[in-house]
Amino acid sequence: MNKHLLSLMFLLLVGTFTTWAQDVKKISGTVYDASTGEPLIGVSVIEVGTTNGAITDLDGKYMFEITSDKVSYSYIGYRTEQLTISASGTYDVKLVTDNELDEIVVVGYGTQKKSDLTGSLASISSKDIKNYAVSNASELLTGKAAGVFVASSSGQPGSDAVIRVRGLGTVNDNNPLYVVDGQFMDNISSLNPADIDRIEVLKDASACAIYGSRGSNGVILITTKGGIKGETTVTLDAYVGIKNSYKALDMMNSDQFYNFIMEAYKNDANFQNSQKEKFTNQYHKGYDTNWWDEVTRTAFTQNYNISIRKGTDKSRTSVSLGYVGDQGAIITTEFNRLSLRLNQEYDINDYITVGTTLNAAKIKQRDAGAIPSFDFIQKADPFTPVINPLVDPSSANYEYNKYAPTEWSFDPNPVAMLELPDRYNDKFNVFGNVFAQVKLFKGLTYRVQYSFERNHDVFKDFRPAYQSTFSEDNLANTGSKYQTETQLTNNSSVVFNYLVEQRLNYNTTFGKNTLDAMIAMTYEKNSSEGINAFKRGALGNDDIYHILDAQTVGDQTSGGKETSAMLSYLGRINYSYDDRYLATVNFRADGSSRFAKGNRWGYFPSVSLGWRINNETFFRNWHIENIISNLKLRVGWGQNGNQRIDRDAPLTLIGTNNENQWYFGNGYSQGYVPTYTGNADIKWETSQQTNVGLDMSFFRGSLDVTMDFYVKKTSDMLLQMPIPSFGAFANSPFFNAGDLKNTGFELVLNYRNHIGKDFNYNIGLNMSTYKTKVTRLTSEYLSGSNSRTYVGGPIGRFWGYKQIGIFQNQEEIDNYVDKEGNKIQPNAQPGDFKFAKLGDGIGELNDDEDRTFIGNPNPDLIYGFNLGFSYKNFDVSMAFQGTIGNDIWNTAKGTLSAAGSQNALAEAWTDAWRTDGDVDAKYPRITNSDTNNNMRASSFYVEDGSYLRLQNMQIGYTLPSHICKKTKLFSSCRLYLSGQNVFTLTGYSGLDPEIGVDNPLDMGVDNTHYPSSRTFTFGVNLQF
């Protein structure tokens, strides 16, 4: 019995051991480089779905035990491999280089391997811009590419960012060209950022020349997501968040403002005799309104995108639906967009492929345009409440009459200005393309494509009738603070652009030679048509009166239509010999209707060469592939054009209206006058650029370095030049008015590595610098609002007097004399600004001799850097951007420091000069009678605009795959927290050092615009 029992126990133990031995597999092996055969050190070998694993040693060897059947092999710079393990044993693995140089990038009218590029290009993939809380796709480029500066033109949701590629190339329009799936676009506000697959920025002329007249300021190529072969993939990306204006100008509170005005008007007899008592009564009412707090809010933002992508051997389809609801930090402002995108391709047979892309967007946007200038918010006095206590809430029309009018400030109640109008833009935009591609024979394909864009924009602005109830202490104007009748503006515009493209591509390889040739013809037509209507005098303010027919008087209408067209012929040859010597030649001829017949055609050639030094025999003989894995030298030259002028620029137009009627005899005769002055002699603006670049990769692709140096010369700049007013010209016509030279340097560094088997990290840095020099002008100088541009200097330097201190006493004023003893500032008083006498003229300061350059808005350095970390299922990413060495003209220091019918900056009271010896004062004496013109254009306004901003930060967690599978709902899930505009380090005292201004002559001028917002979101990425 015992024997049988022992035998049974032995069999059970053996069975258990055998079962255990089958479940646990002991594996080992060596990991090699597939191309060189060398062992790889530090490869992560992980049992899939667990943290169990090993790291290869100095000989590339590994050994550990697993209980499942899947093992992955991952290493920086190599493609991850996965093996199925059936039993214990030795498993040697060869990893293939995951070389970014083999990445296919989009170039003009085609694609290329990154390793074959000879021009300067920056490439940004969807993973680099995923989950950014932006409503306009133009903001995605912020800090992402060297030589590309992005600044917000406004914090208004949906507003376009100002983008500059390689600085300023002209004093005309510097905006780049957007090309979305082959369609030329001037802005991309209707494009859903979640639909973008990749972005390429073409920077030098050899890359941009294929776009001819449209590529002089750089080209931004956007490719949207298409169908993918394989199983149907459904993804849902969603986030919700909050935003607010994180910085405000420090304005005076009621106590400060009362003391400020009393001090400023102490010598004003009219104020002392007739206004002081009422002003004091206003103060004693006890209100202390912070108008910035009243017009800003913690806003809500939400974004949802669902996409379906599928494909077979014969077809590929992608459908996406997106919605963004983005409230602005300023009350009443918002941006809502519902977008739909369809992308389909069908292989009819082995030779013919057809496809289409369709994008539709419905946008409703409410902006802050009801306030003529943003400093209206700051100028409202703190004595005025938002809601008027003198108005009975039960009275008729209370919702419109309830707002308190300002009783000291000239400008109205800013909350009322925002809340009362019914003002919005309603847009419906559609763009897309349809194409057919035919393989004529081996290597030769023909493609015809029709692309279109139609934008319909309806603008409505209803201003209600309302009353304002003033107290007996009112000291302000009343005329602009009530409205006796309704007003309605209703405008409608339609823009329709289309492009027809026919293209032949030929690819062949013979021996060590590779040839890729393309020729094409395109025809582009752009048209816009609009009608504007205005009426007033409806019977009420209710919604039923918000139409034109409900208004009764004051009919005003206008309308117009514009068209332009361009015919182009273009071609390109890419040649490679033995993957060592590369050459690209482009040529494009553009004929534009924007020029007169003799000047319509512009011709734009380019050539670029590349040398892949690392593929040379002598380089390989050095056996340093482990240190330098890629080394390529690039040289390029090319020309681009610019035709961004009025469509009627070469024409002088004659027109009429009801005012041009004269009474003769028994009736009126219609008169005709010039309505537009043109110039038939204008010709193409041409830019010529030379680029030298070096691409390097180190440590098996762990470190990538790209450097570019360029010289860009622009000739025959197109400018509107003022002409004498006595000529009674309708406008300032365009002229070819100058030349410009721009030199710059760009550096990009990207490093990626890991520590152990679970911690991966990447660091990216890009920086660029440029210097602009005007080499010719047909006038003495060009003027901006606060700048002058002369030959020999950069564009847009600030121009004015040099403020060198504050007069402490009368003796200093009396001693500040010219060489003949004349007072330089005879009207100054102690506490007034002292300005430098720079010229040799006699007597007082002179605008012509004593003004000089006092600041430069062009930065010395533009930079951005990105940090990324991942540990197991956690990931963190950060994106920074900033500038160094640029100046900002802070207009608010003057407009918001005066003692008058407005509030003022708190420091105009706390930091004002008060007595002799007050040498640390920043502001002049407090007065309402500035005999010295202290706030003239001077260096007082100029501040250092350098900054560093954490533009975006994300912290994410990806659920383990086994948890996702258990849900049976989704295959992957990532949760994340994100912050936008997290912090900004700057010495600038204004709202925001990031100043986006379209006009290069006004670059760096801060006129107190819509504030940028800090946004925090929580989101999820699901795949089903």
Q: Is the model more confident about 103 or about 425? A: 425
For residue 1013, pLDDT over 50 is answered with yes
**b/e code 905-923 from CB counts within 10 Å (16+ = b):** bbbbbeebbeeeeeeebeb
CB atoms within 10 A of CB 34: 14
Q: Give the whole-angstrom CA distance, residue 49 versus residue 959.
A: 11
Domain boundaries in the chain? 25-98
What tens digit of pLDDT does each residue of 652-695 get? 888 877 777 777 777 777 788 888 888 889 998 898 999 999 99
For residue 489, pLDDT over 50 is answered with yes
Phi, psi of 812 (to 5 degrees): -65, -40
pTM over 0.75: yes
What tens digit of pLDDT does each residue of 384-396 get? 999 999 999 999 9
For residue 870, pLDDT over 60 is answered with yes
The stretch 612-620 carries a mean pLDDT of: 90
Give the helix/strand (H/E) hosting 675: strand 673-676
What tens digit of pLDDT does each residue of 431-471 get? 999 999 999 999 999 999 999 999 999 999 999 999 999 99
Q: What pLDDT sits at residue 36?
A: 63
| Ranges 72-81, 118-127, 772-781, most confident | 772-781
CA 224, 227, 228, 234 dihedral sign is: positive
Topology classification of domain 25-98: Immunoglobulin-like (2.60.40)
CB atoms within 10 A of CB 650: 23
For residue 8, pLDDT over 60 is answered with no
| 623-632, 722-731, 821-830: least confident range | 722-731
Task: Give 528's pLDDT tier (boundaries 50, 70, 90).
Answer: very high
Of all residues in the chain, the percent with pLDDT exceeding 70 is 95
Q: What pLDDT sits at residue 723?
A: 75
Task: Give 169's pLDDT tier (boundaries 50, 70, 90).
Answer: confident
Q: Give the whole-angstrom CA distance, residue 550 versus residue 561.
A: 28
For residue 625, pLDDT over 90 is answered with no
For residue 82, pLDDT over 50 is answered with yes
What tens digit of pLDDT does each residue of 761-820 get? 999 999 999 999 999 999 999 999 999 999 999 999 999 999 999 999 999 999 999 988
Q: What pLDDT sits at residue 797?
A: 96
Task: Give 556's pLDDT tier (boundaries 50, 70, 90).
Answer: very high
The stretch 904-924 carries a mean pLDDT of: 95
Given a contact cutoff of 8 angstroms between Cβ atoms, the answer to whether 80 and 71 are in contact is no
Q: Mean pLDDT of all residues in the chain? A: 89
Given a contact cutoff of 8 angstroms between Cβ atoms, the answer to whether 35 and 700 are in contact is no
574: left (phi over 0), alpha (psi -120 to 50) or beta: beta
Give the helix/strand (H/E) hosting 783: strand 782-783
Residue showing tokens 């994106």: 879
Q: What pLDDT sits at residue 17?
A: 40
For residue 504, pLDDT over 60 is answered with yes
For residue 14, pLDDT over 70 is answered with no
The stretch 132-155 carries a mean pLDDT of: 82
Q: What pLDDT sits at residue 13?
A: 41
What tens digit of pLDDT does each residue of 17-68 get? 443 444 688 999 998 877 666 778 778 888 887 778 888 887 788 989 888 8
The stretch 535-549 carries a mean pLDDT of: 95
